[in-house]
Chains A and B, each alone.
Chain A
């Protein structure tokens, strides 16, 4: 069975600080996909990134970067120079390659960025 663990329940930072959100996953499949979603107070899950299991290259998109390490089954997310608008709940999710989409989510990390 697959599982996603986000050990950090809540993180509080001051604006402009860097913050890393941790994600550890478990799966028996060799082909799988990892995702990060952002959920602002409005409730909608906003897609941030998707990584497949064969692509361990780190990715940077503006202030966001992701570090995928298969050796430690981790897919961590770093926000550089955080802003108040980054305040939200962030979810890491896993999908196995079975021909259909079923996401297994972690419990989420609430990020609070204060001015």
Chain B
């Protein structure tokens, strides 16, 4: 089975812009979660989707949003980018509420 894929792998944006990241889960997995990783805060949970519904959300401002499509693919969007949004964004998928398998991540740099 193919693993979790994320696109793009690298992204450079400027402050104030918006960005959309994409995640394709492992085939058959219906749950997709997003995490932000920064040197200062470590790995932090953003949100989790299951069957196109957001089931859980972390403590992030409303500028961070996401959605899931009927084929389980997910996107996350960050509007009005700030320098502090520079991070590695990791997507994970799981078939049940158990083990999450992660993709390679998208490295976002905000200038």
Contact = CB atoms under 8 A, between A and B. Distances in A.
Interface of A: 33, 35, 37, 42-47, 50, 91, 95, 97-108
User: Chain B interface: which size bin?
Assistant: 20 to 34
15 contacts: A42-B104, A43-B105, A44-B105, A45-B90, A47-B99, A98-B97, A99-B55, A100-B50, A100-B55, A100-B97, A101-B92, A101-B94, A105-B43, A105-B44, A108-B43
A99 B102 CA distance: 19
Nearest to B105: A43
B56 A100 contact: yes
Contacts, number: 64
A108 B42 CA distance: 8
Contact of A97 (B58, B94, B97): B97
B107 interface: yes
Interface string B27-46: 00001010100000011110
